[in-house]
Structure formats: C-alpha cells, structure tokens
Amino acid sequence: MIRSSFAPLAAALLLFAPIDSGVAAQVEAAPAMIPQDSVQIALARFQSLQQELTTLQQEVMNASPQLQEQQAEVSGAVESAVSEIDPSLQADMEARMPVIQQEAQAAQAAGDTTALVALEQEFMTLRSRAETAQQEAVERPAIAAQIEAFEEALRTEMATRDPEVESTLAELEVLAGRLDATLGGG
C-alpha cells in the first residue's frame, strides 16, 4: 500500500534538510576521499551517527503531538498528490503486490527463474512508478513548503533536546559525502 511508504517520511526528510552556513564551511573543507584503511571506521561512525539521530528523532516525534500532526498532514498531502499524478497506482499496487509475492514464492519453489525474472520486472516497474510519483509530489511548491516547515520544526525540537544535533548532522553529511566519493558514488 502506498500509505505505508510515507511512514518513514520524517527520517528521510531530515537527512536532506539544509545545514547552516557554519556547517557548510565544514562540508566544503572536508577532504573528498577517505584512505582505504579507514573506510570501515568511517562507515561505522556514519552508522553510529545515523542511529543516534534516528533515536533522537523518534523520541522527539513520540513526545510531540504537534509534530505527529504536522507529519500526518505532510504525508496526506504527498499521498493526495501521488494519487493525482498516477491515479491508478494505489489500486495497481494493492492488486498486484500480494499476487507478485505469492507467485514469486511459487516460482522459487518450482525453480522457475523465467517467472521470477518477469515478476521481479513487474515489481520494479510498480516501484519505479511509485518513486516517480512521490518525487513529483514532493517537488510541488506547496508540498515542498510543508516539508520544509516540518523539517524546521523537527530540527528545532531535536536541538532543544540535544544542542549538539547540528554538529552531528554536519558530521553525518561530511561523512556521507566522503564515503560517496571514496566508494565510487561521486
């Protein structure tokens, strides 16, 4: 179901939020590559920071009915826009996803790789439609403004609970850029 794909919206959005100018200077000053003997350490630190932020975010969301309401409004706006962008997506996903899963299990049990490939392609097509519609939805100016307001409120509340959150976000972003450059994504 499409609705379930919007549940982790806050977590995904926070990582894309802009950072302040002091933090931007840190990002620009960071070396592009991580020495190969340090990649595992950098990955572990990245995962640790991500977990720390996720935990803080969950605590803040659980403690704030206002943020929960704001997140629900954003999710509803995105879901509504997705329905406008691709009106048959929801019905197609609800109709086909359980069937794809059942048929894939049967094909796997039978060793039918041709059927598995076809089912995987159908799944990927549905997923691509959902991702495209969601991306178009979040790029709509009104929805983008709602997302920005939610992100700001969330970050403000996180900073109230942990004054070091901005530096944690900055370090996470620096590490993400460096890992991306080192591991071939950049």
**pLDDT (tens digit per residue) in 98-126:** 999 999 999 999 999 999 999 999 999 99
* Locus of tokens 């590490």: 175
Q: What is the pTM of this model?
A: 0.70
Helix (H) or strand (E) holding 176, with range, is helix 165-182
Nearest Cα neighbor of 119 from 93, 96, 88 is 96
